[in-house]
Structure 1
Amino acid sequence: MDLSKLDARLDALDADGYLIDADSTDADQYYLSGFDAPDPFLTLYDGSTHLLFVRSLEFGRAKRESRAASVERFTDYGYDDRLEADGRREAAHRTRAAFLDAYDVEAVAVPPRFPLQTADGLRKQGIEVVADAEQTVTAVRASKTDEEIDHVRAAQRANEAAMAAAEDLLGQAEIDGDRLLVDGEVLTSERLKEEIEVTLLRRGCALDETIVACGADAADPHDRGSGPLRPHEPIIIDIFPQDKTTKYHGDMTRTFCVGEPDEQVREWYDLTERAYREALAAVEPGATGADVHDAACDVYEDAGLPTLRDDPGTETGFIHSTGHGVGLDVHELPSVGPDGGELEPGHVITIEPGLYDPAVGGVRIEDLIVVTDDGYENLTDYPVSLVVE
């Protein structure tokens, strides 16, 4: 882990340390502390990492598992003695301040979403608290180590198995009028999601939500989809699992059709595949996320289809960015969109152009790649094909 950018940011803000108050579902907290806990705790970075817990519940495990130089508790800083005189809230503020004082920290930088009550309490104790508008820890996380890339790759292997299970179930479906039947039962979005989620669980991954959206549902890029799946219509399947051990995500989307898609859907799919390949070709160190996004937009606009670049108010066509970073969060830096900055080796990003219209449905193709010294490596090993055989 290279935290030199964080060190430089602390210097620029004239802060003695970086402070996070959150549980480990906050990716910055997990990254900086190296510890997984369901309740909020303090992480202080001052060149080394120090953890402070309200209770002793996680104390022993944190000493064993975290990457912190020190692990301490409220009780180590006089919290219990302050309770009767100060009350719980004031005692907590004074204890946090005592913890910072022990490391000669008089000013802290904090993430933009840092708890207001904690910030106010520290300020009342004379600690300067400044918001890090640049979200430096989030920015640092964007550049992955080889180990992190392996974690993402492993999550993507599980993702591919889940996508294959979903496609296999679609392949078993029989067309019965405007319905798809499997073993005499109507095939629904919910049934396909169940197959996906069970497959992921068996491979050590978890997923609270996935997207299996058909027809008009698929015209909204984030509609999870529900109800019966229909033949001859595009079905978007977007899977973004998290490995339960490493906490890193995979991400992949494919669009399938059981039966015969109409001419417009085929045209849209071919254009989206072309946009996806042009965007991939634009990825290299030094290119920007905006450059990659422009490559996808060019394909659609040359075909006369609307994009947000061409028409910021459009509600149909290509209505989202070309991609985003993936890691401890399924959506993180860097951006692969109009404001996307320079791509660097170690950035893990999606490439996912798509087209949407309630009258047609939607199509999207998404792969997960890592920027390398001379281009990119595709971390996704799954075919791109519309019609389910």
Structure 2
Amino acid sequence: MVAPETTFAFLYDELEARDATGFVHVGGRFDDTLRYLTRFSGPEERYAFVFVGGDAVLCAPSGFERQAKREFAGDYVYTPDDLRADTPGGRAVEVLEAYDADGTLLVPQAVPHDAAVRLERAGFALESTDVVARERVVKDPEEIEALRKAQAAAAAGMRRAETVLAAADARGDGDALRFEGERLTTTSLRREVDAALVQEGATPRENTVVAAGGACTDRHFRGDVPVRSGETVVVDVSPRGPHGYHGALTRTFVVDSEGGWERRAFLAVESAQQAGLDELAGGADASLVHEETAAEIGAYGFPAGYGDTGFTHGAGYGVGVSRRENPRLPSDARLEPGTVLAVEPGVYDPAEGGVRLGDLVVVTDEGFEYLREYPREFTPRA
């Protein structure tokens, strides 16, 4: 698979429109803006990216010069030996001075304070820009393939969760499930999922959520509770693939359901997700996608707002280098072809549990395409 690359025409256009001399950002490995700009998977140690004079320059951190030259999608890599300054902000200033730059610099809102101070002390006027966030919304073919790869890993992790749940039973232990002789908990099930992700070449990055029963109302649950028969089990898998892009797949299962609240909630969420997907196409209103999803949940008799029960969150969000990025559902965005979204409605009740279903899709001119289809099964398959 061809690794995604960033082209920098959008930065040139933004500088021209804002009458600015350059763009600077400073961050480390977990700064997704910097990762998108550089394609460099370097250390947590901070380093600088500079766009000036039509050139994209990476100031590589010490010990990572060869990796930076191999991975960087831009024009030049400056090593620590090339520069006198010992801070990323200072190195960015040296690069700018080498290009005789002056005047206004554009920076993301997340630029570190100390780097901003160093740039201002060098005489530059800083102005904030969201140009990188805007550029990241629409994915090119290489980015979509990277997302597809991550979603394939997510499907493998989900398949492992489903297999474990299907093999678990509660005989001799009340309603608590056991798997291979051990009590099954959300932590042990999450470990099974994460092991499957790693086998597929993806990184869990502590993004995997496994919740059971009342814990399903917490969309970011990381605790450890028993998995019981008759209770909802939400499995939310968001691995990071080898090129830095994420998958997003969510399913809800129930072992030995008696067909009560959880079955009705599952049908509501399944129908609501389809209603939202049916609204997707180039030019679609992001808020309308959410509204149609919420209306379908309401038609099944569940509240659709932002309280403690019912549909308590947005219908979805963008996915890319970040696990969650623009556009959001709802928002005032018009969806463009090439936008990748996780469409992920849910229904929750602290007394009953929670149901959430989510899939990763790319918006097309006429509708959408799944990046990886995965069955929606209420009862886990062996």
Take 1:231 and 1:94, find their aligned partners in 2: how far apart are those partners? 59
Take 1:93 and 1:220, find their aligned partners in 2: how far apart are those partners? 39
Deviations 1:4-51 (A, max 9, x none): 443332233321111110113212111111212112111112332111
Given the alignment, which residue of 199, 204, 208 partners 2:205? 208
**Deviation of the 1:93 alpha carbon:** 5.6
Deviations 1:149-204 (A, max 9, x none): 11111111111111111101111111232211223321111111111111111110
Given the alignment, which residue of 32, 41, 60 partners 2:37? 32
**Deviation of the 1:2 alpha carbon:** 5.0
Deviations 1:319-368 (A, max 9, x none): 1111111111111111122x240111111101110001101110000010
Q: How does 1:220-259 map to 2 (within 5 A)?
A: 220-243=218-241, 245-259=242-256
Change (3 A) 1:2 1:284: farther
Q: What amino acid sits opposite 1:191 in the alignment?
A: S
**Deviation of the 1:217 alpha carbon:** 0.2
CA contact (8 A) 2:89 2:119 kept: yes
* 2:308 alignment partner in structure 1: 315
CA contact (8 A) 1:220 1:356 kept: no
Q: Are 1:175 and 2:173 counterparts?
A: no
Take 1:377 and 1:158, find their aligned partners in 2: how far apart are those partners? 18
TM-score computed with the length of structure 2 as normaliser: 0.92
Q: How does 1:229-378 map to 2 (within 5 A)?
A: 229-243=227-241, 245-308=242-305, 312=306, 314-337=307-330, 339-378=331-370
Q: What amino acid sits opposite 1:386 in the alignment?
A: F
* 1:49 alignment partner in structure 2: 56
Q: What amino acid sits opposite 2:368 in the alignment?
A: Y
* 2:100 alignment partner in structure 1: 104
**Deviation of the 1:60 alpha carbon:** 2.9
Partner secondary structure for residue 244 of structure 2: coil
CA contact (8 A) 1:327 1:348 kept: yes
Q: What amino acid sits opposite 1:144 in the alignment?
A: K
Take 1:95 and 1:206, find their aligned partners in 2: how far apart are those partners? 32
Bigger CA drift: 166-175 or 98-107?
98-107
Q: What amino acid sits opposite 2:312 in the alignment?
A: I
Partner secondary structure for residue 279 of structure 1: helix
**Deviation of the 1:241 alpha carbon:** 0.5
* 2:134 alignment partner in structure 1: 139
Q: What amino acid sits opposite 1:149 in the alignment?
A: I
TM-score computed with the length of structure 1 as normaliser: 0.90
* 2:72 alignment partner in structure 1: 66
**Deviation of the 1:75 alpha carbon:** 4.0
Change (3 A) 1:30 1:62: same
CA contact (8 A) 1:3 1:140 kept: no
CA contact (8 A) 1:93 1:125 kept: no
Q: Are 1:162 and 2:157 counterparts?
A: yes
CA contact (8 A) 1:97 1:127 kept: no
Q: Are 1:120 and 2:113 counterparts?
A: no
Q: What amino acid sits opposite 1:28 in the alignment?
A: T
CA contact (8 A) 1:32 1:49 kept: no
Take 1:294 and 1:6, find their aligned partners in 2: how far apart are those partners? 35
CA contact (8 A) 2:89 2:116 kept: no
Take 1:225 and 1:212, find their aligned partners in 2: how far apart are those partners? 9
Deviations 1:44-93 (A, max 9, x none): 123321112353x22233223312211113443444xxxxxxxx67xx76
Structure 2 stretches of 5 or more lacking a match? 1-5
Take 2:160 and 2:18, find their aligned partners in 1: how far apart are those partners? 50
Take 2:169 and 2:39, find their aligned partners in 1: how far apart are those partners? 49
Structure 1 stretches of 5 or more lacking a match? 80-87
Q: What amino acid sits opposite 1:8 in the alignment?
A: D
Deviations 1:236-274 (A, max 9, x none): 00000111x211111100000000244221111111000
Q: What amino acid sits opposite 1:219 in the alignment?
A: T
Partner secondary structure for residue 205 of structure 1: coil
Q: What amino acid sits opposite 2:64 in the alignment?
A: E
Q: What amino acid sits opposite 1:145 in the alignment?
A: D
